[in-house]
Chain A
Amino acid sequence: MQMKALLGKWKAALQNYWQRQRRLRKSWRQQRYVALDLETSGLEPKSDQVLAMGWVVIEPPVLDYQQAQYFVTQAQPDLKQSPVVHGLVRRDFLDATPPQQALEQLATVLNGAVLVCHHVQFDWQFLQRLAKQHQVKLQPLAKFDTLTFEAARLRQQQHHIARGSLTLVACRQRFGLPMYEAHHAYSDAVACGELFLAQAYQYAGSSEASLQELLAKAK
């Protein structure tokens, strides 16, 4: 009996694996992506909090504002110095959403989709900690980092990577994307999503590149 259960579990995992492999081999253009940005009270996932999260769903070439979400998730924030950066002030936290609720929505939308962030490790670590606390499982198909992709791209062009040249704003400028004034989890998510599209089309617009090939360029 125990053996049977184990076998079943194993079988399911294997099936999952193959399914995932099959999806990764499909064209990157037929995938769903979720561009996301977090506001945090600091840079340390272990001690700092997630204050707000914003995301938008992308089905290339379209970024769909109808599937856009923004949540302030922290009712009692430890603001420290960070309000200077993201412009959130006390009253924004009054109608905060319980993190559980926001995470569940995120889990649904992320399921089978590629998570896209500018410096994805940073956001992912915060997300994972928060998800664990609230017992929500986030299972994106893969993660794509616009920052790593850009660094690799510049290195390949033998560019010296100057200080500040990998910020979201600087990367967007190189692709001729418009300047955005607001710095806010949602508008940064949109900005990151647009950058992703520009990068992906530049790399693999003309070919039927698979998601796997695209991901390999951001490693």
Chain B
Amino acid sequence: MQPDFAELNRFLLDCPPFDQLNADQRQWIAGQIKAAYINEHNVDELFANYSPALYIVRSGGFDLLAPDGQLIERLESHDLFGYPSLLTGRAIVNQLEVVEDGIIYIVAAADFDHLRQTSRAFEHYFIRAHEQRFLTESSFSQPQPHPKTYPERAALSSASYPQRAALAGEVVQRAAVCLCSTATIQEAAQAMRAEKVSSIMVVDDGRLVGILTDRDLRNRVVAQGLNYDIHINAVMTQAPATIGAKQSLVDALALMTQENIHHLPVVEEDGKPIGMLTNTDMMREQKSEPVMLISALNKVGDREALVAEAAHIPEYMHSFAARVNDAAAVGRLLASLTDTMTRKLIDFYEQEHGVAPASYVWLAFGSQGREDQTLSSDQDNGLLLANDLNQAQLDWFAGLGEFVCEGLADCGVPKCPGNIMASNPECRRTRAGWLERFQSWTESPTPKALMYCQIFFDSRNVRGNKRLYQAYREDVAKLGRSDFFLGNLARLQSNVQVPLGLFNRFRGTESGKDSDWVDIKRYGIALINDIVRLYSLHEGLTEPRTLTRLQLLESCKLLNRKDNQALAEAWQFLTQLRLQHQLAVWGTAQPKNALDPDELSTLKRRQLKSAFRIVKDCQQGVGLKFGRIG
């Protein structure tokens, strides 16, 4: 009789992608496996007598070497190798060296093929792994965070809510109500009455050109006393903000808050309108609680009430993040909350001290600028001022900086230890004043200056004069294109060591008792931000968000498509991992950005290695492309 292979089954359950097989498939493959005890005396027999095959390390340590003797990877328990030959049919050219004797499981080619044919998940995993693109892989049967360091909280939240965030296209209640731009205002009003909707999508030749809402009819037509025979293109909102059907609801929400709009057209990839997303839709969705939070923030009447309302944010964000499980969306939502609080504080200051005496821009830098804020991110902001202000006006803005930064701190956004805040006179400058600073940084790039640049080059306009900001941003972009400066930035970045040691093992980045922990922000996310920024500066982009920058860089010749995609996937994986980690250590004294790789699941550990490898490769690319100049 066949044994139940309980021990081997237990191992395979912790060894993706075998965890994706059903129980019968797993039992079947357990009965086909050969276990080889490999040591220096017989290591050559493995490839000679048992290939092609999939090899799984059960115990011991082995080095995989390229034909030229260069180390590719150190293989340890749960690591897989040999599949590239299986998939391509090419002979194995790499060599294996024994570091420590151990057991290697062998899955014969025919059995491997059988599993690929019977399990899509299994097949999918190896195709992605072969393309070195398995960062987007996720496994629900994985016990996500390790139970030892991660308390029940994380397990609870992943069990009680679906993992996937709702998409904008799924929430739309009805097909778009469309008119062409030459319809009259009266026709539009009639259509709205007949269809019982509060807005119309204006579509010419299948493309969305504008929207018209009942509020527009009130404010732009009735209040202005316009004739109802006028074409709607005269009163509609032209080129409105839109959202793709495949984007998440949280993205839609962030956009609606940012633009302060109540109607958001949902469109197909080719721009074809699908339907209108309204505030009411968002409220109906359970996941729309952020709407309530943001509107609660918007409704407060004074600073005290704002601080009181903001006190709910951490607890709220915690449950929200656990639910939507989408790090990018959480970063954007936090940034838009900080934006909202900033605008409210500016309003309160104006109520007390009169409206701004001159045009200005409240600038968000760093993570708020990039919209990848976390709950532990601190403030990075500044003021861009009009020219030739008198002392009284300067004092007004000094007061504003002080008031808003203090207010944000009270609302739970910690002050910046480096004092990059509008309360600091150094961070309140005219356009010429800011340019002077940027110029001094780009021309004499000390490490500190370069560090500032990385924060200041990721900026966004939170409140203020759009034209003033645009002019400033374009000037800054021009300065950023200096080859001398980019060369220095590239060299600075290549000095940061990715936490992968020899043999592709994790290298701890921390000191003290947690010395084998790895800081995934500093040595992962921040490095990708830096790399992407460098390409963006080179291309003169003014966009601050890392993922959007990558989209804009798709046509850039310097960064090939494959690296572009790999960087985006690595960034998403790392921010996601950081979010999960932060949720798990929530309310404890544990580090927020550093984690112990040994506590991760097998799949997560493999993925983290893969992400760091991408960062390392791209870092070297940056060094080669920019580092030599200047």
Chain A residues engaging chain B, CB cutoff 8 angstroms: 54, 60-66, 68-71, 97, 175-178, 180-182, 184, 186-187, 190, 194, 197-198, 201-202, 205-206
Contact = CB atoms under 8 A, between A and B. Distances in A.
Interface in B36-61: 36-42, 45, 50, 58-60
Contacts of A206: 41
8 contacts: A61-B45, A63-B37, A69-B3, A71-B1, A184-B3, A186-B3, A190-B35, A194-B35
A201 B8 CA distance: 23
B45 to A, nearest CB: 7
A62 B53 CA distance: 14
Given A69-B3, A194-B103, A176 B59 contact: yes
Chain B binding surface SS class: loop
A65 B33 contact: yes
B445 interface: no
A181 B13 CA distance: 14
Interface string B88-128: 00000000000011110010000000000000000000000
Contact of A176 (B30, B41, B60): B60
A184 B8 CA distance: 13
B159 interface: no
Interface in B1-49: 1-8, 10, 30-42, 45
Contact of B37 (A69, A187, A201): A201
Contacts of B30: 65
A51 B101 CA distance: 35
Contacts of A184: 3, 6
Contacts of B279: none
Nearest to A59: B34
B85 interface: no
B328 to A, nearest CB: 39
Most chain A beta-carbon contacts within 10 A, residue among B1, B8, B39: B1
A190 B7 contact: yes
Most chain A beta-carbon contacts within 10 A, residue among B3, B8, B31: B3
B237 interface: no
The 6 closest A-B pairs by CB, nearest first: A205-B41, A197-B37, A70-B3, A186-B3, A63-B35, A178-B59
A187 B101 contact: no
Given A62-B106, A69-B1, A182-B7, A198 B41 contact: no
Contacts of A66: 31-32, 34
A62 B59 contact: no
Nearest to A204: B41
B454 interface: no
Given A62-B106, A65-B31, A186-B5, 12 more contacts: A60-B42, A63-B35, A63-B37, A65-B5, A65-B30, A65-B33, A69-B2, A178-B103, A184-B3, A198-B101, A202-B39, A205-B42
A181 B14 CA distance: 14
A70 B30 CA distance: 14
A177 B38 CA distance: 12
A178 B58 contact: yes
B31 A201 contact: no
B323 to A, nearest CB: 35
Contacts of B60: 176
B46 to A, nearest CB: 8
A66 B41 CA distance: 25
B100 A176 contact: yes
